[in-house]
């Protein structure tokens, strides 16, 4: 197999099977950057200065890190408690995604009445499930 990784690196021996396995694991990392290729994001960004492009890249990486940490925390919680959560089409799942979670809160409306925040409607049970899985309370939206 041809590659640019030496057969021994830091005292470890890399045979063909190990290199192929390592290469295939990259997909798990690269798929997370798919949102950067989304035309909605790419076509709407007009940055000329390299410094601004660099800062935007950093902000997007931090956002991706938070996105993946939310997924990880939800999944760890469900695994530890040996429970499921309501996912797509009201099916139970042990592997919720951050996108799935955001769709559950898309219609959440927070009102400010006399300097006090209130929810327009109380949370549904499935929304509370996601908040609990993230170790948040229901007042995360209303208490500053």
The predicted structure's pLDDT at residue 24: 65
DSSP per residue over 81-139, as a string? HT--EE-GGG-EESS--HHHHHHHTTT--EEEETTEEEESSPPPHHHHHHHHHTT--GG
pLDDT digits (tens, 9 = 90+) for 74-114: 999 999 999 999 999 989 999 999 999 999 999 999 999 99
Residue tagged 């007042």 (tokens): 139
Number of H helices, E strands in the chain: 5, 6
pLDDT digits (tens, 9 = 90+) for 25-57: 665 556 676 766 677 666 667 777 878 878 888
């Amino acid at each position: 197999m041809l590659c640019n990784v030496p057969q021994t690196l830091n005292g470890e021996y890399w045979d063909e099977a190990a290199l192929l396995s390592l290469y295939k694991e990259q997909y798990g990392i690269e798929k997370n950057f798919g949102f950067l290729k989304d035309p909605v994001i790419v076509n709407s960004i007009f940055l000329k200065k390299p410094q601004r492009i660099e800062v935007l890249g950093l902000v997007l990486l931090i956002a991706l890190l938070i996105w993946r940490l939310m997924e990880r925390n939800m999944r760890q919680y469900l695994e530890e408690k040996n429970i499921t959560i309501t996912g797509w089409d009201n099916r139970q799942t042990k592997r919720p995604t951050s996108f799935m979670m955001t769709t559950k809160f898309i219609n959440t409306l927070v009102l400010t009445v006399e300097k006090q925040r209130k929810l327009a409607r109380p949370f549904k049970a499935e929304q509370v499930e996601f908040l609990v899985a993230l170790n948040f309370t229901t007042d995360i939206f209303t208490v500053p």
